[in-house]
Structure 1
Amino acid sequence: MSDVPAVAIVGMSGRFPGARDLGEFWRNLLDGACSIADFTEEELLSAGVDAAELRSPGYVASKGFLADADRFEHELFGFNATEAAALDPQHRQLLETAWSALEDAGHDPRRTRLRTGVYVGGGPSEHAVAAQVDGRLRARLGAMRARVFTDREFMAGWLSYRLGLTGPSLTVQTGCSTSLATVHVAVQALLNGECDLALAGGVSIDSPYPRGYLYEPGGISSPDGRCRPFDEKAAGTVGGDGVGLVVLRLLEDAVADGDPVYAVIRGTAAGNDGAGRVGFTAPGVDGQTSTIVEAWAAAGLDPADAQFLEAHGTGTDLGDRIEVAAAAAAFRGARRCALGSVKSNVGHLNAAAGVAGLIKAALMLRHRTMVPTVNVTRPHPDLALDDTPFRLLTRVEEWERPAYGPRLAGVSSLGIGGTNVHVVLEEPPSGPAAADTAEGAEGAGVVLPLSAWTGAQLATAARRLAAALREPDAPRLADVAHTLAHGRAALEARAYVTATTREQAATALESLATGLDASRDDHRSTSTAQAASRTTAIGAAWAAGHEVTWPETGGHRTHLPTYPFAGHHHGALTLTPPPTSHQPPARQPDTETAVTALFRTTLALTGEQDLDRTYFAAGGDSLTAVFLVSELRDRFALDVPIDLFLTEHPLRELISRAVHGEEEDLLADLLDELEP
């Protein structure tokens, strides 16, 4: 083991084609599943694909499709429905994935106590492009708000703002190597003491709707909708959508706190091919080689000791040949090293490609299992793999620990424009001894608190946790109680159970879920009379909505099922022109009705009762107030002071005052409302 300072992956979350979470992702990898979707003509036409393009001889109706990419639980993050629909699906998916990743690491996503940095990047999206030319969107939100809801440069900022993260917040863009580049930047920030915890990764959702692509001979795309990295039939890549984030912490801090670790990042490096390639979009051998060598030197390790390389592996003729040549030069002298690429499973995820490969390799190290590259049979003869240290991985293999040291893997990601990134991974340190995790060591009763936005989600959370507690490698009950108490946000719908063993807890949670299914209005539950009355009283107080001081369980953070998101479909903007309407223009409403409609649209008000709420209670904020003042002036010639939005008047009265221009001493009103 190297003595060089290292970084631990303590949390992960991702949504990939065919996989709503990392549990499904790992099962797909084990099963050798290809999750690239093939669409019917009807599906594509319904999704707005141009009929002439679709019927072109070169159109390939395939993509690594991310299901439900337009869903978003906007209430959880403080957005109203109008804002959620304007927010780019990439931003939506990043927010939810960041929440899950922090929970997976055992940190409350609304109250992370460590200084947390954010390092993310994304791909181009149809939604963002359409937003720039959608006059109706700008009319509803204003040009500035439309931009901050859709531009990639604000991805990191939204995560920091909505989750209260105070460390450095950087949006990183390096083309296809974006998400692995964020990991490199995050690792350096941790090693330099710029933050204590870091979120790193990326997202790519060009459109949440079914899409194919036009195959061009000599281009990078596959003619048949399948990606076959390094295979004799390799003919190109297939695009895909996905999102992945890892939570990073200095290894020594993670070990000191007893955090669970997926894998250890021993070293990273980033470089560029410079002018040493035939074109801007072409890769270069020397640049890739030097980046790999630099990463292993930073780790204080010999690349010859690696047992697995997760390659960029696009399945393109030029790209695969250059990558194998570069890696072979860097890994010279290595024992037979397995070679793989997750693109065969999910397609090329653009800005999320690197983190998908990193998560795959980390899961392999955690489970001590190598998974196959699918759609491959024999290596491409031009690669001459027999003359390199590499072999194609075509089946599931147990990852045996080598006699000369720990399990080691490299992960590479290459970007158009020449930015290469390489990460050196090592297996996680040994966990606690078996005696420490035995059922008999669980001891006194503990309270297990649960919360969610709705009762239905609460029931889902209870069932998922019950299933996790029945797994053979289930964590100690003390760790479960500690993580639920300190590593989860306290939401509106709450419940709890008390238990002394994992089996007892699982049974109580299943009973709780059944009860919640029967009556969604009852969010509180006590499961057993065996726990001490003080424990039950604390659980009851918490379920009633009070702040409580949780008793010390002696537990540590552990991986548990994360929040069961259940947001609505908010759609996405597209560049498909809307159908032409031949209906006569509607009669213009009176000014007060039109202003009320403006407020309803901007604040996503759904009922008459919403007009009885104050501006801020209805979801307004200062930026929206500036927009409304501007709209009232430009569209209705109403000169409304922004102070009006700071009053405690119900919205219907605020609108009336704005329209009719009643002479009011707004400053006096404000002073009166501030008096005790």
Structure 2
Amino acid sequence: MTDTAASEALDSAIAVIGMSGRFPGAPDLDTYWRNLVGGVCSITDLTEEELLADGADPDEIRGRDYVAAKGVLADADRFEAALFGFHRTEAAALDPQHRLLLETAWSALEDAGHDPLAAPLRTGVYVGGGVTEHMLAAQTDPKLAAQLGALQVRILTDREFLAPWISYRLGLDGPSLTVQTACSTSLTAIHLAVQALLLGDCDTALAGGVAVDTVRSRGYVHYQGGIFSPDGRCRPFDERSGGTVPGNGVGVVVLRRLADALADGDPVRAVIRGSAVTNDGAARVGFTAPGVDQQTAAIVEAWTSAGLDPADAQYLEAHGTATELGDRIEASAATAAFKGALGTRSVGLGSVKANIGHLDAAAGVAGFIKTVLMLEHATLAPTAGAGRPHPELALDDSPFHVVDRAAPWPEPECGPRRAGISSVGIGGTNVHVALEQAPPRPAPAATSGPEVLLLSARTEDALKTLAGRLAAVLRTPGAPSLADTAHTLRFGRTPLAERAYVLAADREEAAARLAELAEGRAGSVPAGADDLRAIGEAWLRDERLPWPGRGRRVALPTYPFAGESHGAFGLDTVRAQSAKEPEPQTAPDAGLDPAVRALLVETLGLDSADDLGMTYFAAGGDSLAAVHLVGCLRDDFDIDVPLTLFLEELTLDELARRIVEAREPDDALDALLSEFEGV
């Protein structure tokens, strides 16, 4: 390749500057990496007691072909609703996939060193998800429709709105696209985000996917000849392979053009050199079957767009469903694409599905994040439980070997570490991404002297948790400099209500003071840091802060989400709250004022009428809820109020009074007419 071609190819490179994900057995990416490099299978074997407690059909789970296994995502029903401006009723109705994507998008931006509520201009969102049990239950629940309005229920639960909710709640003004290509959804979302960055549609992009078919404990029924494994284990490319195992998870990455990321000092974790998407069309034996030619084409086109050859890769993260047809076709397609490596060296092959199961719409981003972590750690992670390769795949005559144990990933003599990631969707959409290790980051500027670390969270417990995690990071080898840590905490985090600050002269002292803060103890303050102490005190008072202006963005622990559980469908909370409501809906003839107040309490998910001191929007109200309330007031109470009434800066108490007064002129007119009739 000529120098000009190489330069042009590098101009099209996209930086991965932030990542966040939650996967089976891994609430965060540090745990995910430990599990991956340790070859841990995180698929859960569910007990009969667990299944029955979550409402499973006893006859089904005791059937001969029922497999009680799944890649379970812990705490998939929890959500820190207040951080995102949802009131309790909305949060309970909001689909778990929306909740998880919102929190994961927040964490990914923090991982990139950006304040989630002050992200760069023209930030786009490209995400997708699957169909959920919650969505189907919510959209057919007449009680919920009566409480929130049918349109609001759809907006809170339909996967069509996965991307728009992120854009709305985080204030992102770039394109907002919900992507659907079945199992290849999240890697397709990454490809579309890459294309949008290259075309200038946006300057930063969030991309990824989520899959939570249900938050309840559920296995599956194995059918002979079907796609699911008979024994609850997924063994890609293995002689014991018999099918895949479903799983739940979520992952989001933050992308920027490499030149922009380097210029702005973003923490580049890996580089996307090229990507491509194809469809098998009619060239396959059936709609759900994959095809060889277009899988090969996707791989070749992705590397060609990078000005490279597939043979330049040292590893391939395959789709790897462990189905007989799927693995055979994928191995054939990859062998055809990587033929340039045949006879010269062996390319590592793996699939994260062996570790966590098949995450459907989140499968691609799970493999993508795994590959970024391998590049960062210069380590090839094994495919969990890998045994002898399936003889029908003929891997001995291919460029590939299945990675069956953790191994160092040496940097090649002729270039950086490179890998490919493939994803295949039912319906024929094939995606491939060519990934490269990040360029070396220049060492931080030498600094000395004390720094002020500014911390905040929504609750005191979250603040303590955050301080403890930050202390642990600063004690690790290769920890960020104190100046970079201070800079990232100042500019890469959203200021929240609970606040604290720590003054320290070095990382060791900072870790000690943060540990004291985590334990609820106030530590001593070093002398001679009056200017920094003034910044800290201004931070506590939420005043405008002077700042020395040194430091750069680095990856630090992200927000420790710990929201409340919303039950199996997310609707249990709504129903339980309605059953315990201290001020239930009052009939109009029992008193108009208490009836209107009860309607506001129920619709906004408040604890009681004592919470009516908040404004409508502070209580989590929005335009759709206002439309619903206007309709309820008209239909149930024969009161017509303008929608603009809800836009005024009124407390809910005053709003209720104004609503009641809207009927009083008619009552006064009736009384006046009666008086005239009596004369």
CA separation in 1, counterparts of 2:381 and 2:536? 43
Q: Deviations over 1:594-629 (max 9, x none)?
A: 443322121111133212334334332222111101
Secondary structure at the counterpart of residue 200 of structure 2: coil
Do the aligned partners of 1:202 and 1:355 also contact (CA within 8 Å) in 2? yes
How do 1:231-310 residues align onto structure 2 when only pairs under 5 Å count?
231-310=238-317
Q: Which amino acid aligns with 1:309?
A: L
1:659 to partner: Cα distance: 4.7
Q: How does 1:584-595 map to 2 (within 5 A)?
A: 589-591=586-588, 592=592, 593-595=594-596
- Show CA shifts across 1:537-558 (max 9, x none): 01111112223132212x1110
Q: Is the Cα contact below 8 Å between 2:193 and 2:207 reproduced in 1?
A: yes
Is 1:510 paired with 2:491? no
Tell whether the 8 Å contact from 2:516 to 2:523 is kept in structure 1 after alignment: no
Match of 2:438 in 1: 428
Residue 120 of structure 2 is aligned to residue 124 of structure 1: no
Deviations 1:505-525 (A, max 9, x none): 111111222226xxxxxxxx6
Deviations 1:321-357 (A, max 9, x none): 0000000000002120010000000000000000000
Deviation (angstroms), 1:661? 4.6
Q: What letter matches 1:604 in structure 2?
A: G
| Deviating more after overlay: 631-640 vs 56-65 | 631-640
Distance 2:272 2:586 in 1: 62
The 2-side partners of 1:507 and 1:356 are apart by: 35
Distance, in Å, in 1 between the alignment partners of 2:119 and 2:568 is: 31
Change (3 A) 1:532 1:350: same
| Contact 1:15-1:242 within 8 A present in 2 as well | yes
2:359 to 335, 349, 354: 349
Q: Specify the SS of the correspondent of 1:177.
A: helix
- Alpha-carbon distance, 1:404 to partner: 2.0
Amino acid corresponding to residue 484 of structure 1 in structure 2: L
What is the CA-CA distance between 1:93 and the residue it aligns to? 0.1
User: AA paired with 1:103?
Assistant: E
Q: Could you tell me whether the CA contact under 8 Å between 1:499 and 1:531 is conserved in 2?
A: no
1:167 matched to 2:174: yes
The answer to whether the Cα contact below 8 Å between 2:126 and 2:190 also exists between their aligned partners in 1 is yes
Counterpart amino acid of residue 658 in structure 1: I
Unaligned runs of 5+ in 2: 667-679
- In structure 1, the residue matched to 2:635 is 634
Aligned residue for 1:176, secondary structure, equals: helix
User: 2:537 aligned with 1:540, yes or no?
Assistant: yes
How many angstroms apart in 1 are the aligned matches of 2:407 and 2:636?
A: 67
Aligned positions of 1:559-574 closer than 5 A:
559-573=555-569
What is the CA-CA distance between 1:409 and the residue it aligns to? 0.3
Question: 1:346 & 1:128 partners in 2: Cα distance?
Answer: 24
| Aligned-partner Cα distance in 1 for 2:269–2:549 | 26
Could you say if the C-alpha distance between residues 650 and 163 of structure 1 is closer, same or farther in structure 2, counting changes exceeding 3 Å? closer
- Which whole-Å deviations, capped at 9, do the CAs of 1:82-107 have from their partners, x for residues lacking one? 00001000000000000000000000
Superposition pairs of residues 649-664 of structure 1, within 5 angstroms: 650-659=651-660, 661-663=662-664
Match of 2:646 in 1: 645
**How far apart are residue 575 of structure 1 and its match?**
11
Determine if contact 1:85/1:572 at 8 Å carries over to the other structure.
Answer: no
Q: Which amino acid aligns with 2:252?
A: L
For residues 118 and 616 of structure 1, what CA distance do their matches in structure 2 show?
25
Q: Is 1:337–1:389's contact at 8 Å kept on the other side of the alignment?
A: yes
Q: Secondary structure in 1 aligned to 2:659?
A: helix
Match of 1:19 among 23, 26, 37: 26
Pick from 133, 140, 144 the counterpart of residue 140 of structure 2. 133
Alignment-derived partner of residue 552 in structure 2: 556
What code does the residue aligned with 1:505 have?
Answer: A
Equivalent residue in structure 1 for 2:402, among 375, 392, 408? 392
**Counterpart in 2 of 1:465?**
470
**Pairing 1:410–2:420 present:** yes
SS at match of 2:90: helix
1:492 CA displacement:
0.2
Structure 1 position 496 matched with structure 2 position 492: no
The alignment partner of 2:612 has SS state of helix
Kindly provide the amino acid, as one letter, of the partner of residue 565 in structure 1: F
- 241-250 vs 493-502, greater mean Cα deviation: 493-502
* SS across alignment from 2:611: helix
- The letter of the residue matching 1:326 is A
Contact 2:296 2:336 in 1 (8 A): yes
Equivalent in the alignment of 2:673: none
> For 1:183 and 1:617, how far apart are their aligned partners in 2?
35
| Alpha-carbon separation, structure 2, partners of 1:618 and 1:294 | 51
Offset of residue 660 of structure 1: 6.6
Question: Structure 2 CA distance, aligned partners of 1:663 and 1:648?
Answer: 22
Q: Can you give the 5+ residue segments of structure 1 that lack an aligned partner in the other structure?
A: 517-524, 666-676
Change (3 A) 1:425 1:142: same
Tell me if the contact between 2:243 and 2:322 (Cα under 8 Å) persists in the aligned partners.
yes
Cα distance change, pair 485–648 in 1 and its aligned pair in 2 (3 A): closer
Matched residue of 1:248: which SS?
Answer: strand
Percent identity, aligned pairs only, is 62
Q: What is the one-letter code of the residue matched to 1:507? A: A
Distance 1:510 1:240, change over 3 A: same
Counterpart secondary structure, 2:419:
strand
Q: Distance in 2 between matches of 1:256 and 1:494?
A: 32
Partner of 1:147: 154
Of the candidates 96, 100, 104, which is equivalent to residue 111 of structure 2?
104
The amino acid that maps onto 1:351 is A
Matched residue SS, 1:612: coil
Alpha-carbon offset, residue 534 of structure 1: 1.1
Pick closer, same or farther for the CA change 1:514–1:180 going to 2, 3 Å: same
Once residues 613 and 171 of structure 1 are traced to their aligned partners in structure 2, the CA distance between those partners, rounded to angstroms, is: 34
Q: Deviations over 1:293-336 (max 9, x none)?
A: 00010011121121100000000000000000000000002120
Larger mean CA deviation between 591-600 and 94-103 belongs to 591-600
Aligned residue number for residue 601 of structure 1: 602
2:450 corresponding residue in structure 1: 445
Aligned-residue offset at 1:183:
0.5
Q: Which range moved further: 605-614 or 17-26?
A: 605-614
CA distance, structure 1, for counterparts of residue 653 and residue 84 of structure 2: 26
1:168–1:541 distance in 2 versus 1, CA, 3 Å: same
Q: Which amino acid aligns with 1:541?
A: A
- Match of 1:386, SS? helix
Whether 1:374 and 2:381 are equivalent positions in the alignment is no
Counterpart code for 2:281:
G
What is the distance in 2 between the residues matched to 1:237 and 1:227? 5
Give the partner amino acid of 1:511: E
| Residues 361 and 409 in structure 1, CA contact (< 8 A), matched pair in contact too | yes
Change (3 A) 1:469 1:588: closer
Compared with structure 1, are the counterparts of its residues 402 and 514 closer, same or farther at alpha carbon in structure 2 (3 Å cutoff)? same
SS of the counterpart of 2:339?
coil
Aligned residue in 1 for 2:616: 615
- Name the TM-score, length of structure 1 as normaliser: 0.92
Out of 224, 227, 230, the position equivalent to 1:220 is: 227
Whether the 8 Å contact between 1:130 and 1:574 is mirrored in structure 2 is no
2:375 alignment counterpart: 365
What CA distance in whole angstroms lies between the structure 1 residues aligned with 2:144 and 2:256? Answer: 40
Task: Give 1:533's aligned amino acid.
Answer: D
Whole-angstrom distance in 1 between the partners of 2:324 and 2:508? 54
Q: 1:252 offset after TM fit, Å?
A: 1.3
**1:112 partner amino acid:** A
- The Cα shift of 1:643 comes to 4.2
- Matched position secondary structure for 1:261: coil
Query: For 1:183-202, what aligned pairs fall within 5 Å after superposition?
Result: 183-202=190-209
Deviation at 1:528, TM superposition (A): 2.6
The answer to whether the aligner puts 1:319 opposite 2:315 as a matched pair is no
> Offset of 1:563 from its aligned partner?
0.6
Counterparts of 2:126 and 2:270, CA distance in 1: 19
